[in-house]
Homo-oligomer: A and B are copies of this chain.
Amino acid sequence: MRIIEIGERFGLEQLRERTVPDPEPGPGEVRLRMRAASLNHRDLLMIRGRYNPRQPLPLVPLSDGVGVVDRLGTGVDGLCLGDRVCPALLPTWPAGEPDRAALRRGLGGPLPGVACEFVIARPEQVVPIPEHLGDFGAATLPCAALTAWTALVSHGRLRAGDRVLVLGTGGVSVFALQFARLAGARVCVTSSDQQKLERACALGAERGMNYLTEPAWGEAVRLWSEGGVDHVVEVGGAGTLAQSLRAVRVGGTISVIGVLAGTATQLDVLPILMNQVRLQGIFGGSRASFVEMNRAIAASRLVPVVDTVYPFGVEGLKAALGHLESGRHFGKIVLDYGVT
């Protein structure tokens, strides 16, 4: 099979393609013929060596993908040939709270990722996907969609009528917008790009907030929401946290999901204390949450927003990563494995 891997050293230019023998499933395992993958900011950090500089190399990157069961090991229960499934981003987190080890064992680093034609997995490490989804949409679920779901639903207990602030229009953010609308919440989205704000409104956002023309957007969001939003989906990290603290209501939650705008900041803890705000770090979610999310996606026939599709291969991946890094995308960037 063809695999893509980070070679001897970190860096986009170190990505290389190789052909290795097709893997076979052992007892209790299945083999997936991969059909599509999607990219996350984490993949970019991983390839650059910034996510974990001590990650042993070479490494097959990418955490998110979808495949079809094409071979069954002995004694496999609960999966059939032809089942279309996503490998879980964190395969040792079945349900409930994660332990430290489970959070540290992600696909695409330190575990081998899905940038290869076949993946071996155990049934409890994969999740069946809703039938109405195409392969490209299905490939976007394991990290981006599940992180948004965990933040808003599992931790955030989103209720109809809640007001949600979503920063930007990347993968997690667009899913957060979609899930919030699904649950009857009102959504404000920020961007510096008027066209993206219009797309967000077309997806159901009530308010688009251009942070270039509205630099004090925290206060503007507070006004829009009549006292502060219930949830902030904070992907900016250190660079936007001060404004998010302005935007959130007394007793509200800021889900700290990403660090696009930096990891360290001069933080003033007083607003957290005085307004009883909750800052909740979120990364991924459990397999049980994945199943629950898929049930909601199926019930509503929600369609993930795919920005662009690149062909599987080292050149396609490099182009896709460049596009991700540019920040010009809206929703998810996908790799097509060319299998039908």
| Pairwise interchain contact A283-B278, C-beta atoms closer than 8 A | no
With a CB–CB cut-off of 8 A, which chain B residues contact A159? Answer: 153, 183, 292, 296
Complex interface: chain B residues within 8 A of A258 (CB): 273
Which chain A residues (51-97) contact chain B, with CB distance < 8 Å? 94-97
Name the distance in Å between A257's Cβ and chain B's nearest Cβ.
Answer: 7
Residue from the set A263, A281, A293 with the largest chain B CB neighbour count within 10 Å? A281
Q: A251 to B153, Cβ gap below 8 A?
A: no
**Interface stretch (choices A9-17, A98-106, A109-117, A195-203):** A98-106
Chain B residue with Cβ nearest A299: B161
Neighbour of A27 across the interface among B27, B100, B227, B283, CB < 8 A: B27
Tally of this chain's copies? 4
* Chain A residues bordering chain B, tally (CB within 8 A): 65
From residue A105, how far is it (CB to closest CB) to chain B in Å? Answer: 11
At the interface, yes or no: A194 with Cβ under 8 Å from chain B? Answer: no
Contact (Cβ within 8 A) A160 B183? yes
Among A132-140, A264-272, A306-314, which stretch is in contact with chain B?
A264-272
Report yes or no: A300 in contact with B161, Cβ–Cβ below 8 A: yes
Question: Does the CB pair A160–B259 fall under 8 Å?
Answer: no
Contacts of A228 in B (CB 8 A): 100
Q: Which residues of B contact A153 (CB under 8 A)?
A: 159-160
Hey, what's the 0/1 contact readout for A176-200 against B, CB within 8 Å counting as 1? 0001001111100000000000000
Q: Is A229 an interface residue (CB 8 A)?
A: no
Q: Report if A273-B281 is in contact (Cβ < 8 Å); known contacts: A95-B95, A98-B250.
A: yes
Q: Nearest chain-B residue to A277 (Cβ)?
A: B281
Evaluate contact between A97 and B27: CB separation under 8 angstroms: no
A272 to B249, CA, bound (A): 20
Residues of B within 8 A of A257 (CB): 273
